[in-house]
Amino acid sequence: MSLRPATSAPPAVGVDVGGTRVKAGLVEATGEVVARVHRLTPGRTVAAAEVEELIAEVVLDLLGQVAVAERGAIPVGVGAAGFVDAAQGRVVFAPHLSWRDEPLRENLARRLGRPVLVDNDAHAAAWAEHRYGAGVGESHLVMLTLGTGIGGAILTEGRLQRGRHGLAGEFGHQQLVPDGLRCECGNRGCWEQYASGRAIARLAREVVAAGGDHASALVRTLDGGEPGALTGEHVTRAAREGDRASREILAEVGRHLGVGLAGVAASLDPGTVVIGGGVSLAGDLLLDPARETLARTLVGRGHRPVPPVRAAQLGEVAGMVGAADLARHAAAGPSA
């Protein structure tokens, strides 16, 4: 992790609420995570209040590790997966959770007895990479977070671009394939159905269902479990061990990623694209096919720079680091 020099600024709590896990950390102003906790996300069928109670629990757990006299000065930031109106602290829509026009900031502030900043999880991760990671020094940055779905964020001249209604950067729900796979958002053919952890797992299950020797390595990663339990982590592990079918899956997802990136680059002309989230741990097995497809399909290719596609540096802590830093900035006065 790339750290800035220590300052006198207090630590902050950052919470990253994803489709499968709630991760939280106590983060110093240098970007260092000095304590962390995580819980499984209850899921989209669970009432919003139960998810909020879980978030409050992990925050209180972290605050309990700080001296009583220091707790009052510690701001709390939450990065939530979904369409977030950061100005109002509301989750307008969360495809993978039960939040619908949920006043998350208000509800958490009441539970915790302190101000809370709420923003989109990809915005938080992008802010962290801009401040401490792969985006340091880049004036025009686009970040994608590849997990259960695809999140996105845009920074221009060091400022997050949230759009007129605070909903900019939801690249995962751009239509990639007309009349394609049904998405949890209600539409068909969304990009995240083809270039996310969910997409990798679906393709792996198809390989195993087809049977044959080419499925053997994926079957072994299950350790006796059912094919339905396959995840992107299983595929990445098998691919790193040289499994041909797993490498083909990552390459296919990488090509879909590259097609979508060509559209993003044509629209926004970023200087750098950063890819984060759990799926990015596949590294160049995923990103090289994406880079090649981006360079081959970008409009104006040969007559314009192709933005470099970099792996995020902060890994799974990016969301919590960014949420904490945004909360620290908000508490100090000027917004990010």
pLDDT of residue 4: 37
Mean pLDDT across 275-280: 91
CA distance 143 to 134: 10
In CATH terms, the superfamily for domain 12-127+316-332 is: ATPase, nucleotide binding domain (3.30.420.40)
pLDDT of residue 6: 44
pLDDT of residue 96: 75
pLDDT of residue 3: 38
pLDDT higher than 90, residue 310: yes
pLDDT higher than 70, residue 43: no
Residue limits of CATH 3.30.420.40 in the chain: 12-127+316-332, 138-312
pLDDT of residue 131: 95
pLDDT higher than 80, residue 8: no
pLDDT band at 223 (very low <50, low <70, confident <90, very high): low
Mean pLDDT across 259-266: 96
pTM comes to 0.86
Class level of CATH domain 138-312 = alpha beta
Give the whole-number percent of the chain exceeding pLDDT 70: 95
pLDDT of residue 2: 35
pLDDT higher than 90, residue 211: no
Mean pLDDT across 225-252: 90
Of the listed ranges 42-56, 195-209, 267-281, 320-334, the least confidently predicted one is: 42-56
Most confident by average pLDDT, 1-15, 39-53, 69-83, 281-295: 281-295
Higher pLDDT, 321 or 149: 321
pLDDT of residue 5: 40
Of the listed ranges 23-37, 87-101, 216-230, 233-247, the least confidently predicted one is: 216-230
pLDDT of residue 35: 94
